[in-house]
Amino acid sequence: MKKVIVFDMDDTLYDEFEFVKSGFRAVSTFLNEQFGIIESESYQWMWNRLQKQGRGAIFDDLLKEYGLYKKTLAKKCVSIYRLHKPTIQLPNETIEVLKQLENFPLYLVTDGNKIVQNNKVQALELEKYMNKCFITYRYGLKHSKPSPHCFQLIAKQEKVEPEHIVYIGDNPSKDFVGIKPLGFRTIRIMTGQHVNKQLPEEFEADIRIQYISELPNALKKLWPEIEV
Ligand SMILES: [Mg+2]
């Protein structure tokens, strides 16, 4: 029986912090061009602030730090961050695994702003590997994870039952809880910002792995009959 492998993008296929850094660089360049602020200085300020307090209102605070705060300018920084063409790439270990799995139908299901997520898909060249990349927000907000909507579209397209489809994701809050009751199989990769999240059983994946390089073995555990 055919098996289908579906991936989450952020913090599963690559480290989302790489995107954040890329966005900060774009904002730093803009502030340098407009106001002559040294790029490495504003970049470092944002990075330190991120470590201490997370992402919320970071551009507001940055502009206040330089005495430049205006609501419109803060909005401009957000849009530069969101719309910039990110300089991110897939880590080698991800590329190796995707190549190793090239005989399976591969898909991507990712949540998030349509333009931002599409820019990431392009920068990571994911269409090279995936049969199709589903950006859930394109189907309406109500079809974002944990909704099983896009996963059901994949099942329909591939004409397989959910038990022959596996989703690999990193966020137990939403990656698995909506699809498990339908019979989809699930693998959690213990990387990124959700690595320490401990949630009740219904949110957890069938299998946990530490690194993406462990994926082929995990797939064999799930489906002993397959050849990877
Ligand atoms: Mg993720």
CA 169 – ligand 1 centroid, Å:
6
Q: Which amino acid is at 227?
A: E
CA 174 – ligand 1 centroid, Å:
9
CA 195 – ligand 1 centroid, Å:
11
46, 24 contact by CB (below 8 A) = yes
Q: Is the pTM of this model over 0.85?
A: yes
Q: How far apart are CA 23 and CA 102, in angstroms?
A: 31
Identify which of 174, 163, 162, 166 has the alpha carbon closest to the alpha carbon of residue 204: 174
Full pLDDT tens readout for the chain, 228 residues:
999 999 999 999 999 999 999 999 999 999 999 999 999 999 999 999 999 998 889 999 999 999 999 999 999 999 999 999 999 999 999 999 999 999 999 999 999 999 999 999 999 999 999 999 999 999 999 999 999 999 999 999 999 999 999 999 999 999 999 999 999 999 999 999 999 999 999 999 999 999 999 999 999 999 999 998
Would you call 192 exposed, middle or buried from its count of C-beta atoms within 10 A (0-12, 13-18, 19+)?
middle
174, 188 contact by CB (below 8 A) = no
CA 34 – ligand 1 centroid, Å:
34
